[in-house]
Amino acid sequence: MNGARAGDLASASLVSSTRFIELDAAVWSNNTVRVMARNISAATFDLAAATLSVEVTKRRVP
Tens of pLDDT, residues 33-59? 999 989 898 888 777 777 889 999 998
Q: Radius of gyration over alpha carbons of the chain, in Å?
A: 13
Q: Is-contact 11 61, C-beta < 8 A?
A: no
Q: Average pLDDT, whole number, for the chain? A: 87
Beta bridge partners of 33: 27
